[in-house]
Structure 1
Amino acid sequence: MSFDVDALLDKLDLDAKVRLLAGQDVWTLPARPEIGLSSLVLSDGPVGVRGVRWSPDDPSVTLPSPTALAAAWDPRLAVRAGRLLAQEARRKGVHVLLAPTVNLQRSPLGGRHFECYSEDPLLTGMVGAGYVTGVQDGGVGVTVKHFVANDSETERFTADVHLGERALRELYLAPFELIVRRAKPWGIMAAYNSVNGITMTQHAELLNGVLRDEWGFDGFVVSDWLAARDTVASANGGLDVAMPGPRTVFGDQLAEAVRGGEVDPDVVDDMVRRVLLLAHRTGALDGGTPPEQSTMDGDAVAREIAHRSFVLLSNQIGLLPLKQPPSIALIGALAADPKILGGGSATVFPDHVVSPLDGLRKALPAGTELTYAIGADPRTTLPPATDNFRLRATAKAADGTRLAEFPLREARIDWIGELPAGLDLATLASVEIEGTFLPEATGTHTFGLTGPGDLRLVVGGQTLFDGVNLPEGGDVFTSIMQVIEQRRDVELTAGEPVDVSLTYWVPSEMAEFARGTFAWVIFALGHRGPVLDPDAALDEAVALAGKSEVAVVVVGTTAEVESEGFDRTSLALPGRQDELVRRVAEANPNTVVVVNAGSPVELPWRDDVAAVLLTWFPGQAGGDALADVLFGHEEPGGRLPTTWPAKLEDAPVTRVTPEEGVLPYDEGVYIGYSAWARTDRQPAYWFGHGHGYTTWVYDELDVFPDDEGGAKVRVRVRNTGKRRGREVVQLYLVPTERGDRPHRWLAGFASVEAGPGEVADAEITIAPRSVSVWRDGWQHIAGEYVLEASHSYAEPRLSTRTVLQKIR
């Protein structure tokens, strides 16, 4: 350390020390002016920086989803993403970003997999290390999460994951270890779940033993929000900070535990040292070095990551890139209102979003006509009311007293964690969205309300709903993440304004939730004007496709399908989107399907369309990036970071639901492509799959083993196409004596660029760990291996035999 931490500790008594280990509120740690310590501010990520306010009035640059970033297979791009987010964090006064998420995509049913990178620990660790490096280059800390085995959402607060030491080491701990050793993160977040019977916030074997003693991690460990449960076990188990505050298992309770002899004072001192080191690193402590200010263009970075991440799954007749067609029919509700990010704590609010419709309109070549139809709407909830609504939010006490009033850009309240300044959970009784609406069209208008609890909707003096909105048999807490919508229709006349009011009564249980310190006030008023019935909307889209040269259909998932808080039950696209694609493809052979999803979905029509382009959740500039790729200004640079099944029932690992609180990982080390290789079923698309706009020949493969059991590898590739392009060279190891190891596994990768006829060399290092197995310790398995230079897991282009052994 470049500062005297012991001198600072000497200035603090026990009570002052323990207060530094508990949040003073939802997002911050307290300041200690007597030692020059400012309040440390933590904020959710990972695609933006929300800050301490969960509100669209405090916007953030919004990058593509983590699955998209991983699909670029480029740690250097992840560094750029991290640096941009550090810039955003500094702009918002944030010291620590609660990201990245490096849990593995163990099952395609994981509801939060859009926030994770990959099914493969090496790819996850390399991209995560790049992200961490970029953020910390900007003087902002990270909390690599969720440590460990928090790979699904069902019963995530209480699930006890049972797995063997080998799978724990080779798969689930591996990304964390790589990031700790390579990027030296300043923070780790301990997960909600237990591992083999011990809650992760008090898992001394993994936090103190593996993370600190074995790997040399010197940063702080923070609990996931509300995850810390026991004062003594958490302090002795390796947790440093319990969030959120002000009432946590640390603070005063920790001081009592020290005075009672249950926690050694030296343990507390070490905890405080790590918090002060974090403060020093992030500039929150006097004498810290402020980071250099950067001026990265957020839109440009978001756009670059997006097109670099798009995966061209198929391009059967070479339709893409489009060659200035006379007419394009753009179809799908997600074309006008895309899903740009996943739900839950990953949510941030961009100040603008470029939809596919916006992007294509801006980039349309001269002489090309663009028309649009919804076709099929997958959304099961109505979008928040915005157009022609003049709205405000009014907070009231139980006696009806107005506590505060706020203008609204849209009819939605998201007060998560903290309430707006001046409000308190103890006195807040209700919140009302109220104002006027001026209809543009005469006919049936549909209003929808969401939010867990008691609501009343009044439109034009008519009460349309007055009751409890909870799932059947549910309560306010289990329904926080599960959106339930009530819809009501009303006849309105164009040009005649009506008063609108949606009142939400804060459940009495909310004042006790998290001991009254964590707000969760979420409700919304949705609206949809007169529309075609579903059959007519489909017919309209098909007719439009039939008279256009090219049809571009945008399909995907919704917030009700992919979000934090619940796992998926199906991989099918919601609504009638599959029917829409089939009918459009029958009407127009030049049909391009754009898939707007954060993780795998079934594509039963994939062989019946001209092209399939996966755009993930593409962030705020996704529409511009889509136009770039469709019109050939940029190449789709992505490769799949996860194996995609043709059907859910084909997937080899699907269990995400605990039984009697226990979730067994019975598959051991066989997840993802390793699990698929043991079955007689073929996925729709293998790990690493993806096409570009040029072709490549793999010319040479040279291996130079080192004396530590690894190797340096050079792969020479040649661009045999007619345009510049990028290739992701993937190296897989195949053991000649397999034993209990997978058929093959990813050992390294690199991306290269070259123009037509040019060659490029991919230089890749294979670490000794790639040929090591955990057997009561890491054992290097020396011997002969087949090394494959591949375009994807299932597409080796060159191979050679080599012996990898330790000499020293």
Structure 2
Amino acid sequence: MNDTRIEEIMAELSLEDKASLCSGQGSWNTKAIKKTGIPELLMTDGPHGVRKVREDIDEPGIKDSYKATCYPTASGLAASWNTELVNEVGFALGQEAKEMDVNILLGPGANIKRSPLGGRNFEYFSEDPYLSGKLAAAYIKGVQSQGVGTSLKHFVANNQEFRRMTINAEIPERALREIYLKSFEIAVKEASPWTLMSAYNKVNGKYCSEHPRLLTEILREEWGFEGIVISDWGAVNDRVDGLKAGLELEMPGSHGIRDKEIVSAVKNNKLSEEVLDKAVRRLLKIIFKAENHESLVADKAQVSNYNELAYKAATESMVLLKNEDLLPLNNQKKIAVIGEMAKNLRRQGQGSSQVNPRELDSFFDIFKNNFTEDTEITYDKGYCLDCVEPVEEVSLDKAKDYYHLLDEAKENAANSDVAIIFAGLTEDFEAEGQDRDNLSIPENQEVLIYEIASVQPNTIVVLTNGAPVEIPWKDKVSAILEGYLGGQSAARAISDIINGKVNPSGKLAETFPETIEDTPSFINFPGERDRVLYGEDIFVGYRYYDKKEIEPAYPFGYGLSYTSFRYDNLNIYQHSKNDIDARDLSEIIAEISFTITNTGARAGSEVTQLYISAENSQVRRPIKELKGFDKVKLEPGESKEISFNITADDLAYYEPEIANWLTEPGDYQVLIGSSSDDIRLRDEINIASPITPGVSIRPEYHQNSTIGDIYQDPEAWEVLQEEISDNPKLKRFVSFDNAEMDIGIPNFLEYLPLRNLITFTEGNFTSKDIDRIVDKLNKS
């Protein structure tokens, strides 16, 4: 719909009409105004399936929804590291939403996994903002290609369930910009989501639903967001302040109460009607965009096979953590399958994202059908999913049942060639609305693993969980497959990976720590009363483990394959200083390429990862940061060239003092790896001058500028060298490499302000000389 028609509608709306459009009709719909032809919008939960609530049930609950395809949750999809796959899943979700007359799918979730204890982590992609942002963008593009909108959520720092509606997240500025906002920034700029959902919590003292800096200054003015902001359900604190800050739509509806508050505020001059009008115009653009969705649909002829896509996504979402030449299985004559989860597989998270799956597969049935009659496959329950109390605290009757199940499982395992144990987290341990207390799996499962491994050396553990768990028994078993929450086709995917029909290719999108005490936010999570301090600052996930030199159980980016890969021939072409716009962070600084070869006997896929490391930075920086990735499939012996571009943005950090991003001059390591801890190739690039978007790259020099500051600016350093090169008292200051420095204070020269040249030249430099040098530096 064009702007002219929107203005015609605006002229027909009363103040009360306009206010009414700013909140929902009920739980899932916006209000329609028939007299002006404004239709309603229907929204529904996601993000791993279309959870359209059934309207034929009085007061429906979370599980009362129409059947829909259940894909792996975001934690699993992220482990695929496959943007094409995530885009394909988004495409199919868009098709399915359209079939159900859904206009906006409430997802994806791009929040950062600050702590593995976060109860909603299964809905989020990663601990890394670059990976999260790229996957979210791929998802959004897929859904919206079908004329269905998305709602990027939860903006921002919705990283825990403890007091999630009132908690104040106290976040340092650099961490906010580099970690928690960055994933949203990438998704907004690359994919233009129709809507964005504001979070429940506060950020640095203000509720996200009424935060003008977040919703207007950063989101709209800086990033160029053109959609609407929707509140999370029940997240509005003050409706008028929210409208002023940039919150267009409150969900769910408030039975007209909030509408009256808006009307009253306008009439009492507490709210400008222009602010309301601007919000309504934005709402109308999205409402009519959704109504005209058929004209927006790309690839109309493409029809997704939902179940096969769910299976494909599940196979790529699983990560082989350990394999001592046991997998894939081959010629075993007796296999013991153990654990109630083998027959009651957990496939998705608990809470608002819960989907009513179209169909479900059965691991035990599928697995048996892959073997001939010569192979005997047994099943033992092993533990009870409903019995999660500590073993020493169970009742006598339960204890008898527990040890009976355990003894039966041990006997079968001991008499088999291999044992496959299914374990993980139940819905009682991991759900929206509650954070986890620890990283352990239920004790009855853990005891089972130890006991089975004690009698069967060929033990495989399959984990089904939405977030990391402690794995203290990893040295006791021969293989571990992290299955995550794999959706409706997870059982078939697990079976085919174990049998070797599928070569696993997943890589961890989050660090698996040895213990909870090792995690970055351990001291501060989940906070106290109504505040939580983000004391780990920018050192989230692998950034923390690198900096602290803590070896995790399994590092970020890690995952095994049934084949092997060789990395070769790293080449870097660096653009010259004259070819780079020093005010544009999107400028390509360098182009890199390398070769990857499948050196094994099986076809397989490898996720190649690009990390950047800033050397000798003037500020605290992570040891390395992910800045590129590519998943490539190779036949045995096949080689392919992989290429990445490095931009100034990839090298930048956020500098609060100038309220802007800054790429420092200096050397940067280019690291190519198979994981964050497995770097295969490395080289170096150099940045000659600082790069800051949209403003002059030159700092303002003054008498307290240090020699080190000037040294970082090649043009300024040249000016200073010219000034002091003929002064014998200053020759020792010309180069940092001068070995004759007789002042025994480390970094003395680097931190020496210009004004101290007066002191150390015995009067050869005066205050006027310093002023003259400063003037020349600022003109250089």
Counterpart position of 1:370: 377
Counterpart position of 2:681: 798
Distance, in Å, in 2 between the alignment partners of 1:288 and 1:788 is: 44
Distance, in Å, in 2 between the alignment partners of 1:114 and 1:234 is: 29
After superposition, the Cα gap between the structure-2 partners of 1:188 and 1:806, relative to the gap in structure 1 and judged at 3 Å, is farther
Distance, in Å, in 1 between the alignment partners of 2:296 and 2:189 is: 23
Distance, in Å, in 1 between the alignment partners of 2:668 and 2:331 is: 49
**Which runs of structure 2 are paired with 1:92-491 in the superposition (5 Å)?**
92-247=100-255, 250-283=258-291, 289=296, 292=300, 294-316=302-324, 318-365=325-372, 367-380=374-387
1:715 aligns with 2:594: yes
Give the C-alpha shift of residue 243 in structure 1.
Answer: 0.8
1:665 aligns with 2:534: yes
After superposition, the Cα gap between the structure-2 partners of 1:602 and 1:381, relative to the gap in structure 1 and judged at 3 Å, is closer
CA contact (8 A) 1:155 1:658 kept: no
Give the C-alpha shift of residue 607 in structure 1.
Answer: 1.5
Given residue 540 of structure 2, which amino acid in structure 1 is its aligned partner?
I
Give the C-alpha shift of residue 172 in structure 1.
Answer: 0.3
Counterpart position of 1:434: none
Counterpart position of 1:600: 468
Distance, in Å, in 2 between the alignment partners of 1:773 and 1:198 is: 25
CA contact (8 A) 2:664 2:690 kept: no
**Which runs of structure 2 are paired with 1:496-575 in the superposition (5 Å)?**
533-575=401-443
CA contact (8 A) 2:146 2:296 kept: no
CA contact (8 A) 1:727 1:753 kept: yes
Give the C-alpha shift of residue 488 in structure 1.
Answer: 13
CA contact (8 A) 1:567 1:656 kept: no
Give the C-alpha shift of residue 705 in structure 1.
Answer: 3.1
Alignment deviations for residues 324-361 of structure 1 (CA, whole Å, 9 cap, x no partner) = 42221111111110111011111111132223223313
> For structure 1, which runs of at least 5 residues remain unmatched after alignment?
383-486, 491-529
Alignment deviations for residues 209-231 of structure 1 (CA, whole Å, 9 cap, x no partner) = 10001110000000001111212
Instruction: Considering fraction of residues, name the structure with more strand.
Output: 1
After superposition, the Cα gap between the structure-2 partners of 1:621 and 1:248, relative to the gap in structure 1 and judged at 3 Å, is farther
CA contact (8 A) 2:612 2:626 kept: yes
Given residue 774 of structure 1, which amino acid in structure 2 is its aligned partner?
Y
CA contact (8 A) 2:69 2:488 kept: yes
Given residue 624 of structure 1, which amino acid in structure 2 is its aligned partner?
R
- Which residue of 616, 634, 654 maps to 1:737? 616
Distance, in Å, in 2 between the alignment partners of 1:371 and 1:242 is: 54
Distance, in Å, in 2 between the alignment partners of 1:254 and 1:30 is: 16
Structure 1 counterpart SS, 2:307: helix
Distance, in Å, in 1 between the alignment partners of 2:287 and 2:128 is: 33
CA contact (8 A) 2:664 2:689 kept: no
Structure 2 counterpart SS, 1:774: strand
Given residue 377 of structure 1, which amino acid in structure 2 is its aligned partner?
C
Structure 2 counterpart SS, 1:89: helix
Give the C-alpha shift of residue 582 in structure 1.
Answer: 1.4
Distance, in Å, in 1 between the alignment partners of 2:643 and 2:36 is: 49
CA contact (8 A) 2:22 2:280 kept: yes
Distance, in Å, in 2 between the alignment partners of 1:297 and 1:764 is: 32
Alignment deviations for residues 92-144 of structure 1 (CA, whole Å, 9 cap, x no partner) = 21111111111101111111111111000000001111011111111111111
Distance, in Å, in 2 between the alignment partners of 1:803 and 1:786 is: 9
CA contact (8 A) 2:146 2:297 kept: no
Structure 1 counterpart SS, 2:548: coil
Distance, in Å, in 1 between the alignment partners of 2:9 and 2:335 is: 66
Instruction: Considering fraction of residues, name the structure with more helix.
Output: 2
Given residue 645 of structure 1, which amino acid in structure 2 is its aligned partner?
P
Given residue 370 of structure 2, which amino acid in structure 1 is its aligned partner?
A
After superposition, the Cα gap between the structure-2 partners of 1:293 and 1:566, relative to the gap in structure 1 and judged at 3 Å, is farther
Structure 2 counterpart SS, 1:533: helix
Counterpart position of 2:14: 13
After superposition, the Cα gap between the structure-2 partners of 1:293 and 1:59, relative to the gap in structure 1 and judged at 3 Å, is farther
Given residue 358 of structure 2, which amino acid in structure 1 is its aligned partner?
D
Alignment deviations for residues 468-514 of structure 1 (CA, whole Å, 9 cap, x no partner) = xxxxxxxxxxxxxxxxxxx9999xxxxxxxxxxxxxxxxxxxxxxxx
1:678 aligns with 2:547: yes
Identity %: 36
Alignment deviations for residues 561-616 of structure 1 (CA, whole Å, 9 cap, x no partner) = 11111111110111311111111112211111101111100111111211100000
1:767 aligns with 2:668: no
Give the C-alpha shift of residue 807 in structure 1.
Answer: 9.4
CA contact (8 A) 1:61 1:620 kept: yes
Give the C-alpha shift of residue 363 in structure 1.
Answer: 3.2
CA contact (8 A) 2:322 2:479 kept: yes
Counterpart position of 1:464: none
Q: Specify which structure has the bigger relative contact order, considering alpha-carbon pairs within 8 angstroms and separated by 6 or more residues.
A: 1
Structure 1 counterpart SS, 2:627: strand
CA contact (8 A) 2:167 2:531 kept: yes
Give the C-alpha shift of residue 640 in structure 1.
Answer: 0.4
Given residue 684 of structure 1, which amino acid in structure 2 is its aligned partner?
A
Given residue 20 of structure 1, which amino acid in structure 2 is its aligned partner?
L
Give the C-alpha shift of residue 681 in structure 1.
Answer: 2.7
CA contact (8 A) 1:21 1:251 kept: yes
| Aligned-residue RMSD, C-alpha | 2.2
Counterpart position of 1:698: 567
Alignment deviations for residues 672-708 of structure 1 (CA, whole Å, 9 cap, x no partner) = 0111122243110110010111000101212233432
Structure 2 counterpart SS, 1:572: coil
Structure 1 counterpart SS, 2:572: strand
CA contact (8 A) 2:69 2:357 kept: yes
After superposition, the Cα gap between the structure-2 partners of 1:163 and 1:686, relative to the gap in structure 1 and judged at 3 Å, is same
Given residue 346 of structure 1, which amino acid in structure 2 is its aligned partner?
S
Alignment deviations for residues 257-278 of structure 1 (CA, whole Å, 9 cap, x no partner) = 2122111112111111121121
State the TM-score, normalizing by the size of structure 2.
0.82
Give the C-alpha shift of residue 802 in structure 1.
Answer: 1.6
Give the C-alpha shift of residue 66 in structure 1.
Answer: 0.3
CA contact (8 A) 1:590 1:610 kept: yes
Structure 2 counterpart SS, 1:157: coil
CA contact (8 A) 1:311 1:614 kept: yes
Give the C-alpha shift of residue 91 in structure 1.
Answer: 1.7
State the TM-score, normalizing by the size of structure 1.
0.79
After superposition, the Cα gap between the structure-2 partners of 1:10 and 1:674, relative to the gap in structure 1 and judged at 3 Å, is same
Structure 2 counterpart SS, 1:372: strand
Counterpart position of 1:448: none
Structure 2 counterpart SS, 1:282: helix
CA contact (8 A) 2:145 2:297 kept: no
Alignment deviations for residues 655-686 of structure 1 (CA, whole Å, 9 cap, x no partner) = 32232311111111011011112224311011
CA contact (8 A) 2:520 2:539 kept: no
Structure 2 counterpart SS, 1:606: coil
Structure 1 counterpart SS, 2:261: helix
Structure 2 counterpart SS, 1:733: strand
After superposition, the Cα gap between the structure-2 partners of 1:603 and 1:807, relative to the gap in structure 1 and judged at 3 Å, is closer
After superposition, the Cα gap between the structure-2 partners of 1:30 and 1:290, relative to the gap in structure 1 and judged at 3 Å, is farther
Distance, in Å, in 2 between the alignment partners of 1:722 and 1:586 is: 33
Bigger mean CA deviation after superposition, 275-284 or 163-172 = 275-284
